[in-house]
Amino acid sequence: MLTALILSVLAMTVIVGVRYLAVSGMFAWLTDRRLPGLYADRGGQIRKEIGWSLASAFIYAAPAGILAWGWQTHGWTRIYSDVTEHPLWWLPASVLVYLLLHDTWFYWTHRLMHRPSVYKRMHTVHHASRNPTAWAAMSFHPWESITGAILVPALVLLIPIHYGALLAVLLIMTIMGVTNHMGWELFPNWLVRGPAGRWLITASHHQRHHEKYLCNFGLYFRFWDRLCGTDRGLGEFSAVRSQPLPRS
Ligand SMILES: [Zn+2]
Ligand SMILES: [Zn+2]
């Protein structure tokens, strides 16, 4: 039993670590294609971002690995595999509910981490990347990683979700975590600066958090920032304007 549990945690560590390296690596490669040289002088920063992120991979994997083992052997969790077990509308609704709850958790824990006494202990590692790169997605101090690692495992114990919907949540979480730190805007202007963009968070919004610190705390949605008066709009990417031409 203990061996199976340890193997589950180790397997999950490999999955989370490889997922991070693959997705961050893919968007770093894309960055190099779109904006050659954007990360050129940031080798030292990137090495630190990768180191902290791989340490975070283990912290994220531990509760996930324990739960995956408990799900398979003891039927823990509300993850279901038969789509007819709940109404079909719950498939997309569960994705939205998970994202909204994750966003709420992130907003308030993130605000707490910006209180001076907590900031020093938990959040300076992440903000060491003043101008983050695609490798900064999981660049957190272990204390901050713990706050990030516990929410989704807690939710799967409480709120039913089909495993396909859970994969969708994890995919959105991974892609937004990477692209929000990439240093340029992936999404089109009509979306980012249009009506939907008033409620959605992409790189333009999170970049401003890394520049100005005490604003734009949200993760996926601008709802809490707007409600609490911490939304300072969208940032600009000077590097994008000064180096607009892709490599020939
Ligand atoms: Zn960040
Ligand atoms: Zn912060």
Which ligand does the CA of 109 lie closest to?
2
pLDDT value at position 2? Answer: 87
Q: Give me ligand 1 centre to Cα 11, in Å.
A: 27
pLDDT of the residue at 21: 97
Phi, psi angles (nearest 5°) of residue 161: -150, 135
**Ligand that lies nearest to the alpha carbon of residue 113, given by its number in the listed order:** 2
Q: What is the CA(226)–ligand 2 centre distance, in A?
A: 17
Burial class of residue 28 in the structure, from the number of CB atoms within 10 Å of its CB (0-12 exposed, 13-18 middle, 19+ buried): middle
What's the pLDDT at 237? 81
List per-residue pLDDT tens for the chain, 248 residues long: 889 999 999 999 999 999 999 999 999 999 999 999 999 999 999 999 999 999 999 999 999 999 999 998 999 999 999 999 999 999 999 999 999 999 999 999 999 999 999 999 999 999 999 899 999 999 999 999 999 999 999 999 999 999 999 999 999 999 999 999 999 999 999 999 999 999 999 999 999 999 999 999 999 999 999 999 999 999 888 655 444 444 43
CA of 132 to the centre of ligand 1 (A): 7
Spacing, Cα 203 to ligand 1 middle (Å): 9
CA 206–ligand 1 middle distance (angstroms): 6
Give pLDDT, residue 201.
97
Residue 162 near residue 83, CB atoms below 8 Å: yes
Cβ-Cβ contacts under 8 Å for 200 (sequence gap 6 or more):
191, 192, 220, 221, 222
Q: Which ligand is nearest to the CA of 124?
A: 2
Hey, how many other C-beta atoms are within 10 angstroms of the C-beta on 106? 18
Q: What's the CA-to-centroid distance between 145 and ligand 2, angstroms?
A: 13
Size of the chain, expressed as the number of residues it contains: 248
Ligand closest to Cα of 114 equals: 2
Q: Using the mean position of ligand 1's atoms as its centre, give its distance from the Cα of residue 89 in Å.
A: 33
- The alpha carbon of 17 is separated from its chain's Cα centroid by a whole number of angstroms, namely 14
Ligand nearest to the CA of 217: 2
Q: Which ligand is nearest to the CA of 183?
A: 1
Question: Distance from the CA of 31 to the center of ligand 2, in angstroms?
Answer: 23
200: three-class secondary structure by DSSP: strand
Instruction: Tell me, in angstroms, the distance from the centre of ligand 1 to residue 7's CA.
Output: 31
Does this model's pTM top 0.75? yes
CA 210 – ligand 1 centroid, Å: 6
